[in-house]
Amino acid sequence: MQFSKGHGTENDFVLLPDPDGALELTPTRVTALCDRRRGLGADGVLRVVRWAALGSDDRAPEPEPGVEWFMDYRNADGSVAEMCGNGVRVFARYLAHSGLLPAPPHRDGFDLGTRGGVRHVGFDGDPSSGEVSVDMGPAAPGETSTASVGGRAFPGVSVDLGNPHLVCVTDAAIDGLDLTYPPGHDPALFPHGVNVEFVSPVDGRGEVIMRVHERGVGETRSCGTGTVAAVVAALRHAGRATGTVAVHTRGGRLRVTVDAATTTLHGPAVLVAHGELSRSWWDAAG
């Protein structure tokens, strides 16, 4: 069984090519793959499957005409997730690397299927090394709520990007927060869990700092959808509805553009390794 390993600003993934939807990707196998001691180690798994071959999946939308590939994303704990902005960029880089896109793949961009809807992806320059841009769709602040860390409550706002986020814009020392455990949140507002971002206000250079705790994973070095949610909330905190903001995560720098119609995430995507999984290991992990 083939695999690849990649990351987007150190938010890392195992990619499993499965164009015809033949793999039985169980939660226990996902957990084993993502384990950094007994597996390959990752924040999540990206199954590379043709949308038409996805099979029975009541959480996936029906295939759309002209969209061949579907990003079947799983969190490190084996749970299914709707969307991952860093994952989409790494997924797109893999498709280009593997020759699975029409040539040239960078001219007009292309569409990918996700459980959060279709996402339009483009390469900023060389498809093998340049930044990847993803149209993440419209996003707007929703209900206000709070997240709690170490007994301290942080006011926040919900932002839906196909998956749920609670963004807390704060002047607190973000580096000093203990995100070893999931921040407390309102289960009535987020019955299926939530990604929680802590973000500094937009500074004079148009930049923010962010840390994130992802549901089903823990604190990650970066989160693509979380980055977009963070910018939407930080712009609102600054009294603005649109703009371009640079986001410094622990894994690197990303940019987000918010306009009246949509949001766009720009950032790197790196393929680190390609290899083969042992069939005996796969069977034992099932």
* Active-site residue, selected from the candidate residues 15, 48, 84, 247: 84
Q: pTM of the entire structure? A: 0.91
pLDDT the model gives residue 60: 84
pLDDT in tens, the chain (286 residues): 999 999 999 999 999 999 999 999 999 999 999 999 999 999 999 999 999 998 777 778 899 999 999 999 999 999 998 899 999 999 999 999 999 987 766 567 999 999 999 999 999 888 888 899 999 999 999 999 999 999 999 999 999 998 999 999 999 999 999 999 999 999 999 999 999 999 999 999 999 999 999 999 999 999 999 999 999 999 999 999 999 999 999 999 999 999 999 999 999 999 999 999 999 999 999 8
Which is nearest to 69 in space by CA: 46, 86, 37, 41? Answer: 46
Same domain, 130 and 6: yes
45, 223, 256, 265: the active-site residue: 223
CATH number assigned to the domain comprising residue 105:
3.10.310.10
Do 58 and 154 sit in the same domain of this protein? no
The answer on 255 and 188 residing in a single domain is yes
Residues 78 and 177 in one domain: no
Known catalytic residue: 34? no
Residues 86 and 161 in one domain: no
Shared-domain flag, residues 250 and 108: no
Is the domain of 84 the same as that of 17? Answer: yes
Burial category of 8 from C-beta neighbours within 10 Å (exposed 0-12, middle 13-18, buried 19 and up): buried
Identify whether residues 55 and 148 lie together within a single domain: no
Residues 32 and 91 in one domain: yes
Residue 31 shares a structural domain with residue 130? yes
User: Do residue 57 and residue 149 come from a single domain?
Assistant: no
223 is catalytic: yes
CA distance 105 to 29: 32
- HSE-CB for 265 with a 13 A CA cutoff: 35
The closest alpha carbon to 262, from 136, 89, 167, belongs to 136
Residues 118 and 194 in one domain: no
* Distance, CA of 221 to chain centre: 11
| 115: nearest Cα among 88, 93, 145 | 88
Distance, in Å, from the CA atom of 276 to the CA atom of 282, rounded to the nearest integer, reads 11
Range of the domain at 42: 2-136+269-285
Number of domains present in the structure of the chain: 2
Distances (CA, A) of 268 to 62, 94, 134, 145: 30, 13, 11, 32
